[in-house]
Structure 1
Amino acid sequence: MAQQAYVTEADSGGSGPEHRESGLRRLRGRLVAGWRGDPRIWRRGIVLAALAVILALVMLLHAQIPNVIGNLGSLTETFLPWLGLFVPVLLVLALVRRSATALIALLIPAIVWLNLFGGQLTDKTGTGGDLTVATHNVNADNTDPSGTAQDVAASGADIVALEELTDAAVPTYEKALASTYKYHSVQGTVGLWSKYPLSGVKPVNIELGWTRAMRAAVTTPSGQVAVYVAHLPSVRVKMEAGFTARQRDKSANALGEAIAHEPLQQAVLLGDLNGTMNDRALRAITAQMRSTQGASGSGMGFSWPSSFPMARIDQIMVKGIEPMSSWTLPQTGSDHLPVAARVKVDTSAS
């Protein structure tokens, strides 16, 4: 009798598969109930549909947005992936408005975003490689330079670039990294630490009036590689001037010219470029080098700000070298995340 009572109770109101399926069917029925027989589903939401088309055009034609007023084009390109967040917002509004027109229009920005960034959602990490490099803007106000240096060294990188070094902190970084890296050079506010010999070390003029970029040839077991370290000028968003980046853009052009005249066939650029790969202002660099994150990373690889990364402005780029994997490192005492990459040096190019 007790067993019969239990079966009866379960059949009439239990939580079995049939009951859950019935609940889902009722929920679906409520969602579409207001759509059936409603001729206005095509007339409502015209504004939402228009916004969806505009969003798609902004993402698709971002390179055509002028920089004349407040560098609006570069600002859009810096945070371009985040425009995709407007798609689910518009989707909710379209459902609330019960607009079939808006829902169909939303397919356009969704497809455009996936075309631009869908590939970055997949894991392109490969195996192999013979050289690991890392770069980190350590932040001039870092209160734990020794701990930061040890964290970066723990990545196992063969070559480490540090940016935003201060005169007071340099001895601390040198001491913390000395046991891991036999060779190093500091030029102005940037430095390079290496397990392999350095030669041809020199500052690179990026038209700032002080040194924030350098170049060195690293003799790796697989051959010589030119390594550039750079910290391009910061950009600012000001109410009266918009996105100000004139000095950054000028320095990017100078750095791109220096790399273009590099005599070695294989080169690596490590540093804080204060710009993303989408930013047209970095075209002098990005036109001749590949991003390791874009070619062999997993996800967007955002590096700044470290508390809630929204953009990848810390870059590892290569020329004549094959990227195998790329990733961000754990947070340190800086407002940037360190980034690292594993690459394969072409022995025949040396």
Structure 2
Amino acid sequence: MPVPIIVAALLLFHRAVPNASLLETFLPWLGVAIPILLVRAWFRSLRAVIIAVLPLMVWLGVFGERLLPASGGTHQLVAVQHNVSDENPDPAGTARTLVEPRPDFVGLEEVTPEALPAYTAAFGRDYPHVIVQGTVALWSRHPLTEARLLDIRPSTQGPDWNRALRAVAHTPHGDIAVYVAHLSSVRLGLGGFDSANRDESARKLAAAVATEPLDRVLLLGDLNSTVDDRVLDPVLERVHTAGGGFAFSWPVRMPVARIDHVMADGMAVVDVRTLPRTGSDHLPVVARLRL
């Protein structure tokens, strides 16, 4: 089978590939092969060129919307999401970067007890409402109530694995259920791509969000997966994110995937973009929200 047809088939039917989380994480990057295929085809025949155009058309059909500029328009809220890294050498400087777009909410993962005072001091009086559960935290301009730990712990982890929370934010626009979550990491080893813990965490997060009684939901998190990864399908049945832009957030040296997300229900995510580099191995992402 010609390579262009294989590339087009993977783009269109990646969900039919078993255990394809690795493929789906880097799915947009299949487009890198397309210029090479087109150049090779140009020196062969018209038929080869026509075949080589096929994956280009499919790629544009799948990802073309993300090339378009943000829709713009009004927005009422701003949210920032960042895995700050438990090895971050400059939590105060990181916090200053995160408040630059003047967000209403800041969701963080990998917050250590040692770094917590520095973050709290740097966020200052503009973010007086703080919730910390395990290694995840939420800072808010608006009052927070009903704060609780959200159990998305994989069965292989002990009771000290606490990486999600849920709270209700009381904003001038009404109450919003805010979730901050950090799904399990994936591992690439000799046995292949191990995502079992991540997938179990995702299912538990999806179950919690699906039963949320409030109409407006905001999810901030390092989900260790992209929106193209089928593991997030149950989550995306309730919440959604911006269609435009890639906003790759990881790894920081050469971002190739957006695994850090701002998602919402009852609100439109107008756009998502990255913020400047901090002391983390992730880039922060910021989103504007329209009610």
**TM-score using structure 2 length:** 0.95
Q: Which amino acid aligns with 2:30?
A: L
Report the equivalent of 1:127: 73
Counterpart contact for 1:330–1:338, Cα < 8 Å: yes
The CA deviation string for residues 110-150 of structure 1, in whole angstroms up to 9 with x for no partner, is 11000000111011331211111111000111111110011
1:63 to 15, 19, 29: 15
Deviation at 1:314, TM superposition (A): 0.3
Secondary structure of 2:185 counterpart: coil
Distance 2:147 2:103 in 1: 20
Distance 2:97 2:34 in 1: 38
Report the equivalent of 1:78: 25
Q: Which amino acid aligns with 2:227?
A: M
Q: How does 1:252-263 map to 2 (within 5 A)?
A: 252-263=202-213
Deviation at 1:108, TM superposition (A): 1.0
Counterpart contact for 1:233–1:247, Cα < 8 Å: yes
Deviation at 1:169, TM superposition (A): 0.9
The CA deviation string for residues 27-49 of structure 1, in whole angstroms up to 9 with x for no partner, is xxxxxxxxxxxxxxxxxxxx7xx
Report the equivalent of 1:115: 61
Secondary structure of 2:226 counterpart: coil
Report the equivalent of 1:10: none
Q: Which amino acid aligns with 1:179?
A: R
Counterpart contact for 1:153–1:180, Cα < 8 Å: no
Counterpart contact for 1:132–1:156, Cα < 8 Å: yes
| Aligned length in residues | 286
Q: Which amino acid aligns with 1:200?
A: E
The CA deviation string for residues 221-266 of structure 1, in whole angstroms up to 9 with x for no partner, is 110000000010111111x211110000000000000011111110
1:315 to 253, 261, 271: 261
Deviation at 1:330, TM superposition (A): 1.2
Distance 1:186 1:55 in 2: 44
2:166 to 215, 219, 240: 215
Q: How does 1:316-335 map to 2 (within 5 A)?
A: 316-335=262-281
Counterpart contact for 1:231–1:273, Cα < 8 Å: yes
Pairing 1:341–2:287 present: yes
Distance 1:337 1:146 in 2: 16
Deviation at 1:91, TM superposition (A): 1.6
Report the equivalent of 1:281: 231
Report the equivalent of 1:246: 196
Q: Which amino acid aligns with 2:222?
A: D
Distance 1:167 1:102 in 2: 59
Distance 1:340 1:235 in 2: 24
Distance 1:248 1:205 in 2: 13
Counterpart contact for 1:52–1:102, Cα < 8 Å: no
Counterpart contact for 1:159–1:193, Cα < 8 Å: yes
Deviation at 1:325, TM superposition (A): 2.8
Report the equivalent of 1:137: 83
Structure 2 gaps, min length 5: none
Counterpart contact for 2:38–2:53, Cα < 8 Å: no
Report the equivalent of 1:227: 178
Pairing 1:151–2:97 present: yes
The two structures, once aligned, show a CA RMSD in angstroms of: 1.2
Counterpart contact for 1:136–1:336, Cα < 8 Å: yes
Counterpart contact for 1:183–1:193, Cα < 8 Å: yes
Deviation at 1:344, TM superposition (A): 2.1
Structure 1 gaps, min length 5: 1-46, 68-72, 346-350
Q: Which amino acid aligns with 1:211?
A: N
Runs of 4+ residues over 4 Å off in structure 1: none
Higher helix share goes to which structure? 1
